């Protein structure tokens, strides 16, 4: 269980909320986690249960059925989810997609989609990455050409979280291919729309219960009114939302890192070698001490970032730095914790194996950590 006794970003309200989240996950998530990992997808029933418990899109305004809370409540959910070793895509819905619709959607779009996103009836995804365009969103080649009062979408996307379950996808497409980034728009496409097809559930190294898919668009026609926000403003919208997306990754990274450390401590205090516990060796204690110190710094920095974000002060460079540092820390902690398990760490029956596998992608999605350094370098 995460120790929140020294946290500074949360008050009694968030702490009470955390207790509710823990009880909910203990009942609805933990008993199903292994099955979801094997099946490669989280049950829709879990989404509906999350909706009923108020764990989806807590920042959405009350007028659309939300709780109208701040991002700290999202962070509570993210931390507890990652600490349990789950990669359920509810964080994508709450931390990323919901804000795009709240901030840029029309009144009709908000009224149509937000209540069902909150209830869990509508599962969402955002389709940015393409086979030839990852961290470089300016390189998107999917097009949405006007034809009367419709867009005709052609192109493909890959590595899309919630891709199998998604009822609604925000598609990043070029509405003016000659204008580069300035010709990018965000188009809403519902599952079942002719010309829109979901590919296979991709076989990944980790995060197995997060359904991750290829998406294909072939002469897919949607009304012009499906444009999210203003046409050709999509790249600006994407850049505006990335600090929160990257903070969300940092939050999850800390939850996963702490769990890995806790698993290592538990293992080395129980495991015997050469007549004593592995913990009794000085090297083990030094490795653990180094990790504990870095985790202390990590939680303190995360709380600063959370407070800056809810005050509207977290900028793009700080968001990139948080994503870079915390995901790097997660990998360092998970790798060192697995090493302390010895051969047992390589066995899937131990939680550390999944924590280690799931951590690897954190330095890739949301913009690779190499791109994070490039962005931060521009602020120097």
Q: Which positions are annotated as active-site residues?
A: 245
| Spatial contact of 16 and 72, defined as CB atoms under 8 Å apart | no
CB burial readout 79-89, b (16+ within 10 A) else e? bbbbbbbbbbb
Considering only CA atoms, which of 149, 217, 142, 223 is closest in space to residue 183?
142
What gap in Å lies between CA 55 and CA 67, rounded to an integer?
10
> Torsions phi, psi of 189, nearest 5?
-130, 125
Length of the chain: 380
Cα angle 127, 239, 367 (rounded to 5 degrees) comes to 60
What gap in Å lies between CA 59 and CA 192, rounded to an integer?
28
- State both tokens at 186: 């965000």
| Spatial contact of 279 and 268, defined as CB atoms under 8 Å apart | yes
- State both tokens at 341: 């398990």
């Amino acid at each position: 269980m995460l120790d929140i006794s020294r946290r500074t970003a949360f008050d009694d309200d968030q702490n009470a909320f955390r207790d509710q989240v823990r009880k909910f996950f203990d009942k609805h998530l933990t008993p199903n986690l292994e099955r979801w990992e094997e099946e490669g997808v989280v049950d829709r029933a879990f989404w509906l249960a999350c909706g009923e418990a108020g764990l989806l899109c807590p920042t959405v305004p009350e007028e659309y059925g939300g709780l109208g809370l701040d991002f700290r409540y999202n962070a509570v959910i993210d931390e507890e989810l990652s600490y349990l070793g789950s990669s359920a895509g509810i964080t994508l819905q709450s931390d990323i997609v919901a804000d795009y619709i709240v901030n840029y959607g029309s009144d009709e779009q908000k009224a149509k989609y937000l209540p069902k996103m909150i209830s869990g009836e509508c599962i969402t995804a955002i389709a940015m990455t393409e086979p030839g365009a990852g961290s470089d969103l300016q390189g998107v080649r999917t097009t949405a050409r006007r034809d009367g009062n419709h867009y005709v979408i052609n192109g493909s996307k890959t590595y899309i979280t919630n891709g199998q379950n998604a009822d609604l996808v925000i598609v990043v497409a070029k509405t003016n291919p000659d204008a580069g980034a300035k010709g990018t728009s965000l188009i809403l496409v519902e599952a079942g729309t002719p010309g829109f097809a979901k590919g296979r559930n991709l076989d990944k190294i980790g995060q197995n219960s997060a359904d991750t898919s290829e998406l294909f668009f072939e002469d897919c026609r949607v009304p012009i009114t499906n444009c999210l926000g203003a046409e050709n403003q999509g790249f600006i919208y994407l850049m505006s939302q990335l600090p929160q997306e990257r903070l969300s990754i940092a939050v999850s990274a800390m939850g996963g890192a702490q769990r890995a450390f806790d698993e290592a401590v538990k293992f080395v205090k129980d495991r015997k070698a050469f007549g004593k516990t592995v913990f009794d060796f000085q090297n083990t204690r030094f490795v653990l001490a180094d990790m504990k110190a870095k985790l202390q710094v990590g939680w303190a920095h995360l709380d600063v970032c959370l407070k800056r974000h809810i005050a509207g002060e977290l900028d793009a460079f700080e968001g990139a730095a948080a994503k870079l540092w915390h995901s790097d820390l997660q990998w360092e902690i998970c790798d060192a914790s697995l090493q302390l398990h010895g051969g047992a760490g390589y066995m899937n029956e131990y939680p550390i194996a999944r924590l280690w596998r799931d951590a690897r992608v954190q330095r890739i999605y949301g913009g690779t950590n190499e791109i994070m350094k490039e962005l931060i370098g521009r602020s120097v």
